[in-house]
Amino acid sequence: MVTSLRLRSAEGLLALLGLPGIGPARAIRLATAFETADALRDADPNVLQRLLDHPVSARDLLGLAEPPAAPDGIRRVGYFDEGYPHGLRDLSVPPAVLWVVGTLPDVPSLAIVGTRNADKVGLMAAQRVAMAAVAAGFGVVSGLALGIDAAAQNAAVEAGGRTWAVLGGGVDRPTPVKNVDLAARIVQGGGGLIAEVAPGSRTTGPALVARDRLQAAMSRVTVVVQSGIPSGTLHTVRWTLLLRRPLAVLAPPAAHLISSSWAGNEALIDPEGCNPSLLGARGQLASEIGLRRPVADLVVRGREDYPRLWAIATGDLN
């Protein structure tokens, strides 16, 4: 066992995550309570049991070991590090460790998200919003997916702005393959690739859903450009509302009101509200969504609404 390992470092947290039954929440709890591996080893077992509500044996603790160095070009940022995105701490279970290529967001940012199956109108709208956000001094957070995500992030790069891609797989293997070049340009432009899963991890459906909460948490506002039903975009919407972040939704063009690819937008801007089940919401959140008329805090009908969007993002809206 490594006795001098600082548990409140990225390396210490990774070591804790390697223990049986220890996930991000428990790792953060242990590191908060015990500064070093040595202190953890000497802890009263009853204290550990109460702290974790999970048995950790002396044998488990003997297996605590410093992780290998991060791969070249990739860095680890832990929950206790100064550069850890502040907004992630609002999550009920924040990542204990982030894997990063490039930078982390250090300016107010907007999550610009939407469907992979975007039409031309949606793609152009994503580009316009992203370019206007850059011009207004904001960063852009998205998921590097085909469709709306890629359109927004490419436009941000082309406009000379910075954008951050939150991935559902390892930062060493950004997906989809079609956007590998875009990922490289994001990093070259001063932005970054971010994941809570380790390098080498394959992109999975559950990981993509999990990353949606990171997009919402790292952003001042979530902007839904185009969404169908069902859509992964609505997971980001649910987390946005759960985190009490503002939600902006583009109004579908009149000619597209009957298009299923805009059905999510229509539901979110409906003045009569929408069924919380469309967002996968339950319990208290479902009750709150059921009372919102509409669900969106701001309906963006055109460029004339951008100043109001910037005001929401900066907290200057009365």
Tens digit of each residue's pLDDT (9 = 90 or more) over 147-192 = 999 999 999 999 999 999 999 999 999 999 999 999 999 999 999 9
For the stretch 240-267, pLDDT in tens is: 999 999 999 999 988 766 678 999 999 9
pLDDT band at residue 315, thresholds of 50, 70 and 90? confident
**Per-residue pLDDT for 56 more than 80?**
no
**Per-residue pLDDT for 2 more than 90?**
no
Q: What is the pLDDT of residue 257?
A: 65
Domain boundaries defined on the chain: 1-68, 101-314
Question: In percent, how much of the chain has pLDDT > 70?
Answer: 96
**Per-residue pLDDT for 282 more than 70?**
yes
Question: In percent, how much of the chain has pLDDT > 90?
Answer: 83
CATH topology of domain 1-68: DNA polymerase; domain 1 (1.10.150)
Average pLDDT across the chain, whole number? 93
Residues with Cβ within 8 Å of 164's Cβ and at least 6 positions away in sequence, in order, are 102, 103, 104, 105, 109, 139, 140, 141, 142, 186, 191, 192, 193, 194, 218
Rounded distance between C-alpha atoms, residue 194 and residue 213, angstroms = 13
Q: What is the pLDDT of residue 316?
A: 61
Q: What is the pLDDT of residue 251?
A: 96
Q: Which residues pair with 100 in a beta bridge?
A: 75, 194
**Per-residue pLDDT for 318 more than 50?**
no
Residues with Cβ within 8 Å of 184's Cβ and at least 6 positions away in sequence, in order, are none
For the stretch 110-144, pLDDT in tens is: 999 999 999 999 999 999 999 999 999 999 999 99
pLDDT band at residue 3, thresholds of 50, 70 and 90? low
pLDDT band at residue 293, thresholds of 50, 70 and 90? very high
Q: What is the pLDDT of residue 269?
A: 97
Q: What is the pLDDT of residue 61?
A: 75
Surface-to-core class of residue 250, CB atoms within 10 Å of its CB (0-12 exposed, 13-18 middle, 19+ buried): buried
Q: What is the CATH number of domain 101-314?
A: 3.40.50.450
**Per-residue pLDDT for 277 more than 70?**
yes
Q: Quick one: which H or E segment has residue 236?
A: helix 233-242
Q: What is the pLDDT of residue 21?
A: 85
